[in-house]
């Protein structure tokens, strides 16, 4: 879709990346970090100062204490961390439960490890509850003696839902008394709206004890191209994780690790993200609703999901292409996050609002040209 957007000079609200630069304070820290000669290999597990900042931040936000030396690893982005966690613990024939819709790297990584993905759909939104939610009963029914792990992703991409305390209760009950591991994708941990907290696996000791918790500095500091993330896990899981990490990446960009260690030491730099993005969410949601979209509540991430039934009867992929080619606004069809046999059910599209005001204004103006579909 990004290539299609470029071809048709469309405004790209599809792929999830900010259209603005990181904080100048961070860029200045990066420039300072380049001068002393921080250009050789960092330690395999990551710069100690950055791991200490991650440990401090996680303890402050979740109450879970991770040892920077034995439980935290800096990675080349979150996707590498997720793939390495899967490769570290999934053996041929192991089953891994994946909640659908799902981020597109999960199933290929499971298959590369020889694992078997077991897809469990979320409960779709309804008039009474217009949010996608995990279906714990269906998930429980999907567990077998071969279940090795469950992929967890909240705040959820692409549906923008978050976990409740009741969800954590259900997950604790689900895995209690088993050896099932959790691989938790929490890259949008600092982008949660309407005063709600992010409920990390780290906030429950029983869940933290069996979890790889993955996050991304790219999402937090508006620098997705830096490709720096991290993984927190108990010592036994981190040992296995690092066996993979060492031979996939070895070490991550040393200069930018120095800059992030300096910048992230100030909690204000991530505590302000929710209010910053909530203004953008509300602005785009209003514009989409006026254009005729059915906008679902976004509880977290920098995305909005919207239905287009009032505007078109097309299949999701066709609608996304038409919107890009004809109206100059690129989106991602939610069908891209579904198994092929269920993709046609996902009549929703995802918009990214991590954009400057002028980009959002221009997109809304173009969408004003949409007209409701006429009844047959």
How do the domains of the chain map onto residue ranges? 2-16+272-367, 24-266
User: If pLDDT is split at 50, 70 and 90, which confidence band does 91 have?
Assistant: very high
Residues 22-27 have a mean pLDDT of 97
Burial state string for 345-368 with b = 16 or more CB within 10 A and e = fewer than 16? ebbbbbbbbbbeeebbeebbebbe
Nearest CA to 350 out of 363, 361, 337 is that of 337
pTM given for the model: 0.95
> Which has more confidence, 1 or 219?
219
Of the chain, the percentage scoring pLDDT greater than 90 comes to: 91
Q: Please report the pLDDT score of residue 371 as a whole number.
A: 86
- 225-263 per-position pLDDT tens digit: 999 999 999 999 999 999 999 999 999 999 999 999 999
| Residue 36 CB contacts under 8 Å (≥ 6 apart), including other chains | none
- Provide DSSP, 201-243: GGGSHHHHTTEEEEEEHHHHTT-GGG--EEEE--HHHHHHHHH
Alpha-helical regions (H) of the chain: 2-7, 24-34, 48-62, 78-89, 106-112, 136-142, 165-175, 205-208, 217-220, 235-248, 254-263, 268-271, 273-290, 316-327, 357-367
Q: Please report the pLDDT score of residue 52 as a whole number.
A: 98
Is the pLDDT score of 376 beyond 70?
Answer: no
Is the pLDDT score of 367 beyond 90?
Answer: yes
Domain 2-16+272-367 adopts which CATH fold? 3.90.1150
Residues 300-312 have a mean pLDDT of 95
Of the chain, the percentage scoring pLDDT greater than 70 comes to: 98
Q: Please report the pLDDT score of residue 374 as a whole number.
A: 63
Q: Please report the pLDDT score of residue 8 as a whole number.
A: 83
User: If pLDDT is split at 50, 70 and 90, which confidence band does 347 have?
Assistant: confident
Is the pLDDT score of 151 beyond 80?
Answer: yes
Number of residues that make up the chain:
376
> Which has more confidence, 272 or 4?
272
| Residue 237 CB contacts under 8 Å (≥ 6 apart), including other chains | 85, 88, 89, 181, 211, 212
Residues 292-318 have a mean pLDDT of 95
Domain 24-266 adopts which CATH fold? 3.40.640
Residues 203-209 have a mean pLDDT of 98
């Amino acid at each position: 879709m990004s290539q299609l957007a470029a071809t048709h000079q469309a405004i790209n609200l599809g792929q999830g990346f900010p259209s603005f630069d990181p904080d100048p304070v961070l860029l200045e820290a990066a420039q300072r970090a380049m001068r002393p000669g921080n250009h050789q290999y960092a330690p395999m597990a990551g710069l100690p100062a950055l791991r200490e900042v991650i440990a401090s931040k996680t303890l402050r936000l979740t109450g879970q204490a991770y040892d920077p030396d034995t439980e935290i690893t800096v990675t080349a982005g979150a996707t590498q961390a997720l793939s390495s966690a899967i490769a570290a613990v999934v053996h041929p024939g192991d089953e891994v439960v994946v909640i659908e819709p799902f981020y597109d790297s999960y199933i290929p990584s499971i298959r590369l490890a020889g694992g078997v993905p077991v897809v469990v759909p979320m409960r779709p939104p309804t008039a009474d509850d217009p949010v996608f939610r995990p279906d714990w009963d269906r998930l429980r029914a999907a567990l077998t003696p071969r279940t090795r792990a469950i992929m967890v992703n909240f705040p959820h991409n692409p549906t923008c839902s978050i976990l409740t305390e009741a969800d954590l209760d259900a997950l604790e009950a689900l895995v209690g008394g088993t050896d099932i591991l959790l691989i938790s994708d929490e890259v949008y941990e600092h982008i949660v709206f309407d005063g709600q907290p992010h409920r990390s696996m780290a906030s429950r000791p029983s869940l933290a004890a069996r979890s790889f918790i993955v996050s991304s500095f790219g999402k937090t500091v508006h620098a997705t191209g830096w490709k720096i993330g991290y993984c927190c896990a108990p010592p036994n899981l981190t040992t296995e994780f690092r066996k993979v990490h060492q031979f996939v990446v070895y070490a991550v960009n040393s200069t930018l690790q120095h800059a992030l260690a300096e910048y992230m030491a100030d909690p204000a730099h991530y505590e302000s993200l929710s209010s910053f993005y909530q203004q953008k969410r509300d602005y785009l949601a209003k514009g989409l609703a006026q254009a005729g979209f059915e906008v679902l509540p976004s509880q977290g991430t920098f995305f909005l999901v919207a239905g287009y039934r009032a505007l078109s009867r097309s299949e999701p992929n066709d609608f996304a292409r038409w919107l890009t080619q004809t109206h100059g606004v690129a989106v991602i069809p939610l069908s891209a996050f579904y198994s092929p046999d269920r993709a046609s059910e996902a009549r929703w599209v995802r918009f990214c609002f991590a954009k400057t005001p002028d980009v959002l204004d221009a997109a809304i103006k173009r969408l004003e040209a949409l007209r409701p579909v006429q009844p047959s």
